[in-house]
A and B are shown apart, each in its own frame.
Chain A
Amino acid sequence: MAQEAPAEEKLLHVSVSPHLRDTVSVPKIMRSVILALTPALIWAVYIFGLRALWLVLVGMMSAVLTEAICQKIMGRPITVSDGSAVVTGMLLVYCLPPGVPFWMPMVGSAFAIAIGKQAFGGLGHNPLNPALLGRAFLLASWPLHMTTDWRAPAMGTMSGIDAVTNATPLAVLKEAHKVLADPVSTTEQVVQAREAVAQLSSSYGNLFFGNVGGSLGETSALLLLVGGLYLMFKRYIGWKIPLTFLGIVMILTSAFGGADGLFTGDALFHLLSGGLILGAFFMATDMVTTPVTFRGRLIFGAGCGVITSVIRLVGGYPEGVCYSILLMNAFTPLIDRWTRPKRLGEKGLRQE
């Protein structure tokens, strides 16, 4: 009888879940994200000069160094090799103006990692997206640098049009709408503003290929879309959040974005300009800070779209992608709680 025991052991292999294992790991996903972001970086170097590359490298190194120092101080295993800090640094610099001084990505990345991530216990525990927190922190602390250090692209104008040349497309639009809504504007100002709006609506090509000014990595819609679709194809990001995010922004901006009443807005312009595509594909899809349920993701994307449109159309800033994602990150635990699927048979049992 005793000799049969080993055979039985092989038949019943007891282990804890998960039982289905995959080869996907954090470093592998992070490598793919870096790869997906690289075309936009090459483009940034092409239009803004080698300075763009140095800024990104400074941001990445600061993020990695901060992560290592924090983990060393806390006596935890140092996990910088998983690449998540590299991605945070990279994404942060992608949303900075290309003319910022070099200490800004350094300080921003350090804040993002130390306060936004390590203070909560590291990867997987942070409630808000660290890269976006870094940007919000820099914008709150040094607003002048963050709103004036723009650079014109190598072979175009900063706004992508000829009428106004010293501002990004969204800032031009915001200024023009301010003039149109102001009753004391002179006829000449109104004509100029209308001219600017009309030109913006015919600059889709510049916006799509990225021949405009803007934050370092957000200019080229095409290259970001390629990277985003690659991640979607690899199934590292889902379609629900980007699709609802972009869809709601297009609907709301076309409905309320025009100066001549309902449905005169330019949805395609809003879709292609600013950091919308970068945010929708690379930041609003962060696995840690977004809801896990199906309905939750639709709500998250829709919320981002609503807040982005509201800030762009009536808010104080020209761009609202960063804040919209941060705010919806804050709502994520509540969304998850309220969209929790019912267990089988639960319906009718609970009276609460």
Chain B
Amino acid sequence: MGEFFIILISAVLVNNFVLARFLGICPFLGVSKKTDTALGMGMAVIFVMTLASIFTNLIHNLVLIPYHLEFLQIVTFILVIASLVQLVETVLRKLSPALYHALGIYLPLITTNCAILGLALLNVIKQYDLTRCIVFGLGAGLGFTLALLIMSGIRERLQFADVPKPLRGVPITLIVAGLLSMAFMGFSGLVKM
């Protein structure tokens, strides 16, 4: 139990995928304009990350390793992730058209999101078994959502800020991301992995 907790805390705070590993910056910048959309995107990423973690782990252990096909790792992982995202997209379009439109291009972009591929590869590097993969995937998604929510809150407030003209939009967002990353350094050393 304790080890699962450590994996979770590590993925959410200490090695936050966005603010410490700098993965998934594209949706982090693209979908953080409004808190509601950010929350929706976060939920989609949590869902995809947890599923991707499970499926890539199964495929790696049941197909790639027995047939010595580890060199196909990246190709198969991307294929699995892409099909999963397609599934999420279809479900979302039916269940919540508003969220589907709000996410726009960024939902298909999860397909090629380095955060999710990174998660699958990290699972392999860390040699996690299936349950640890689930916890790690969940933590990674939660960490991504946390970063996205914080960013969206600050950006909503920045709309009323008198930001100098050359820094408006993406530049100030990148500055905020850097400053947040610095604040998250406080969590370093919290758990020993």
A residues near B (Cβ < 8 Å) are: 74, 115-116, 118-122, 125, 127-128, 133, 136-137, 139-140, 307, 310-311, 314-317, 320, 322-324, 326-327, 329-334, 337
Contact = CB atoms under 8 A, between A and B. Distances in A.
A310 B190 contact: yes
Chain B interface SS verdict (over half): helix
B185 to A, nearest CB: 6
B163 A119 contact: yes
Nearest to B184: A327
A324 B183 CA distance: 8
Given A121-B161, A121-B164, A327 B153 contact: no
B158 to A, nearest CB: 7
Contact of B179 (A115, A121, A307, A332): A115
Contact of A327 (B164, B176, B186): B186
B191 to A, nearest CB: 8
Interface in B140-193: 149-150, 153-154, 156-158, 161-164, 167, 172, 175-176, 179-180, 182-191
25 contacts: A119-B164, A119-B167, A119-B172, A120-B172, A121-B163, A121-B164, A127-B176, A133-B179, A136-B186, A139-B185, A140-B182, A307-B186, A311-B186, A317-B188, A317-B189, A326-B183, A329-B183, A330-B150, A330-B180, A330-B183, A333-B153, A333-B154, A334-B153, A337-B153, A337-B156
Contacts of A128: 179, 183
A136 B183 contact: yes
Contact of B153 (A140, A322, A331): A331
Nearest to B160: A125
Most buried by B among A316, A322, A329: A316
B35 interface: yes
Contacts of B157: 127, 333
Contacts of A315: 186-190
